[in-house]
Structure 1
Amino acid sequence: MKSTPETLIRTGSRIAAVRAVGERGVLAELDTPEDVLALTELLKRTPFTGQREVVPAAETVLITAESPTAMLRITSQLGKLTIPPHRQVGRKLVEIDTVYNGEDLRDVAELAGISVEAVVAAHTGQLWTVAFTGFVPGFGYMRGENDILTVPRRPSPRTNVGAGSVALGGSYTGVYPRQSPGGWQIIGHTGCVMWDSGRAEPALVSPGTGVRYKAVRDTVVVQLPAVQEAVSHGHGLRVRRSLPLTLVQDLGRPGNAAIGVSRSGALDQGSLRRANRLVGNMEGAPALEIVDGGLTVQAVGEQIVAIAGAPAGIRISSETTSRPATVATPFVLMDGETLTMSAPSAGVRSYLAVRGGFVAEEVLGSCSADTLSGLGPKPLTVGDFLAVGPPPAQAVGLPETQPDFPAGDVVELELGPGPRQDWFSAQALKSLFDQVWTVTNDSNRIGMRLAGTPLERVQHGELPSEGTICGVIQVPPTGQPVVFLSDHPVTGGYPVIAVVTPKDLDKAAQTPAGGRVRFRHAPSITESTF
Structure 2
Amino acid sequence: MTPQQQASEAAAPAGLNGIRAAGDRAILVELPSLQAVLSLQTQLTAHPQPGQIDVIAAAGTVLITADSPQAIQALAAHVRGLDLEAPVETDSTLVSIDVVYDGEDLDEVAALTGLGREGVVAAHTGQLWTAAFAGFAPGFAYLTGEDSSLEVPRRRSPRTAVPAGAVALGGAYSAVYPRQSPGGWQLIGRTDAAMWDLGRENPALIRPGDTVRFHAVRAKATVTQQLVTQQQKPKPSDAEAEEQATEGLAVRKPGLQSTIQDLGRPGYAALGVSSAGAMDRGALRRANRLVGNPEDAAGIELLFGGLELVALSDQVIAVTGAAVPLTVTRPDDEQAADERRPRATLHPACDAPFALLAGERLTVGTPTAGLRSYVGVRGGLGGSEALGSRSTDTMSGIGPEPLQAGTILTVRPPKPGSVVGHPEISPLPDVSQAIVLRVVPGPRQDWFSAEMLQAFLAQEWTVTPQSNRIGLRLNGQALTRSRDGELASEGTVRGAVQVPPEGQPVLFLSDHPVTGGYPVIAVVVHADLDKAAQLPPGTTVRFAAAAFPAELPETPKETSHA
TM-score between the two structures when normalised by the length of structure 1: 0.93
Q: What is the letter of the counterpart of residue 250 of structure 2?
A: R
- Alpha-carbon spacing, 1:89–1:290, altered in 2? closer, same or farther (3 Å): closer
Matched, 1:281 2:304: no
Q: Residue 330 of structure 1 is aligned with which of 346, 353, 358?
A: 353
- Alpha-carbon spacing, 1:336–1:49, altered in 2? closer, same or farther (3 Å): closer
- Alpha-carbon spacing, 1:329–1:228, altered in 2? closer, same or farther (3 Å): farther
Shift of 1:48: 3.5
Distance 1:323 1:385 in 2: 23
The within-5 A match list for 1:149-298 is 149-219=150-220, 233-298=245-310
State the partner residue of 2:116.
115
Distance 2:172 2:524 in 1: 33
- Alpha-carbon spacing, 1:244–1:113, altered in 2? closer, same or farther (3 Å): farther
Q: Residue 373 of structure 1 is aligned with which of 390, 396, 404?
A: 396
Matched, 1:54 2:66: no
Contact kept? 2:39, 2:84, Cα under 8 Å: yes
Instruction: For residue 347 of structure 2, give the secondary structure of its aligned residue in structure 1.
Output: strand
Shift of 1:25: 1.1
Instruction: For residue 343 of structure 1, give the secondary structure of its aligned residue in structure 2.
Output: coil
Distance 2:300 2:79 in 1: 41
Matched, 1:451 2:475: yes
Instruction: For residue 430 of structure 1, give the secondary structure of its aligned residue in structure 2.
Output: helix
Contact kept? 2:429, 2:435, Cα under 8 Å: no
State the partner residue of 1:363.
386
Distance 1:227 1:374 in 2: 23
- Alpha-carbon spacing, 1:117–1:456, altered in 2? closer, same or farther (3 Å): same
Structure 2 residues not aligned, in runs of 5+: 1-12, 236-240, 335-343, 552-562
Shift of 1:526: 9.1
Q: Residue 465 of structure 2 is aligned with which of 425, 433, 441?
A: 441
- Alpha-carbon spacing, 1:63–1:228, altered in 2? closer, same or farther (3 Å): farther
Matched, 1:483 2:507: yes
Contact kept? 1:50, 1:66, Cα under 8 Å: yes
Distance 2:47 2:252 in 1: 52
Contact kept? 2:248, 2:410, Cα under 8 Å: yes
- Alpha-carbon spacing, 1:220–1:264, altered in 2? closer, same or farther (3 Å): farther
Distance 2:279 2:526 in 1: 11
Matched, 1:125 2:112: no
Summarize deviations over 1:430-489 as a string: whole Å, max 9, x none: 111111111111010000011111122111211001111110111111111111001000
Distance 2:533 2:230 in 1: 30
Q: Residue 520 of structure 1 is aligned with which of 544, 548, 560?
A: 544
Shift of 1:102: 1.2
Shift of 1:228: 8.7
State the partner residue of 2:337.
none
Matched, 1:315 2:327: yes
Summarize deviations over 1:51-95 as a string: whole Å, max 9, x none: 322110111011122222222233234344331423445521111
Distance 2:186 2:180 in 1: 15
RMSD over equivalenced CA pairs, Å? 2.1
Structure 1 residues not aligned, in runs of 5+: 1-11
Summarize deviations over 1:153-175 as a string: whole Å, max 9, x none: 22222222211111111111111
Contact kept? 2:463, 2:539, Cα under 8 Å: yes
Distance 1:228 1:14 in 2: 54
Q: What is the letter of the counterpart of residue 472 of structure 1?
A: A
Q: What is the letter of the counterpart of residue 259 of structure 1?
A: L
- Alpha-carbon spacing, 1:270–1:395, altered in 2? closer, same or farther (3 Å): same
Distance 1:471 1:329 in 2: 30
Instruction: For residue 270 of structure 1, give the secondary structure of its aligned residue in structure 2.
Output: helix
How many pairs are equivalent? 513
State the partner residue of 1:303.
315
Matched, 1:389 2:412: yes
Q: What is the letter of the counterpart of residue 132 of structure 2?
A: A
Distance 1:421 1:89 in 2: 34
State the partner residue of 2:17.
16
Summarize deviations over 1:89-129 as a string: whole Å, max 9, x none: 55211111111111211121112112100000000011111
Distance 1:56 1:376 in 2: 24
Deviates more, 1:317-326 or 1:464-473: 317-326
Distance 1:349 1:91 in 2: 44
Instruction: For residue 83 of structure 1, give the secondary structure of its aligned residue in structure 2.
Output: coil
Distance 1:110 1:227 in 2: 50
The alignment-based identity, stated in percent, is: 52
Deviant stretches of 4+, over 6 Å: 226-232
Summarize deviations over 1:117-162 as a string: whole Å, max 9, x none: 0000000011111121111100001111111111122222222221
Distance 1:382 1:110 in 2: 52
Q: What is the letter of the counterpart of residue 109 of structure 2?
A: V
- Which structure's residues are more often strand, by fraction? 1
Q: Residue 507 of structure 1 is aligned with which of 525, 531, 553?
A: 531
Summarize deviations over 1:15-62 as a string: whole Å, max 9, x none: 112111111111111111111111111112233343322110111011
Shift of 1:227: 12
Q: What is the letter of the counterpart of residue 270 of structure 2?
A: A
- Alpha-carbon spacing, 1:487–1:43, altered in 2? closer, same or farther (3 Å): same
Distance 2:47 2:403 in 1: 43
Shift of 1:220: 8.2
Summarize deviations over 1:388-414 as a string: whole Å, max 9, x none: 111232011111111133432211111
Q: Residue 352 of structure 1 is aligned with which of 356, 368, 375?
A: 375
Contact kept? 1:303, 1:332, Cα under 8 Å: yes
Distance 1:186 1:203 in 2: 21
Deviates more, 1:438-447 or 1:13-22: 13-22
Distance 1:290 1:421 in 2: 35
Shift of 1:525: 5.5
Distance 1:275 1:406 in 2: 21
Distance 1:278 1:307 in 2: 9
Distance 2:57 2:221 in 1: 31
- Alpha-carbon spacing, 1:220–1:362, altered in 2? closer, same or farther (3 Å): farther
Deviates more, 1:85-94 or 1:48-57: 85-94
The within-5 A match list for 1:461-476 is 461-476=485-500
Deviates more, 1:126-135 or 1:61-70: 61-70
Q: What is the letter of the counterpart of residue 395 of structure 1?
A: V
State the partner residue of 1:4.
none
Shift of 1:183: 1.6
TM-score between the two structures when normalised by the length of structure 2: 0.88
Contact kept? 2:256, 2:302, Cα under 8 Å: no
The within-5 A match list for 1:424-439 is 424-439=448-463
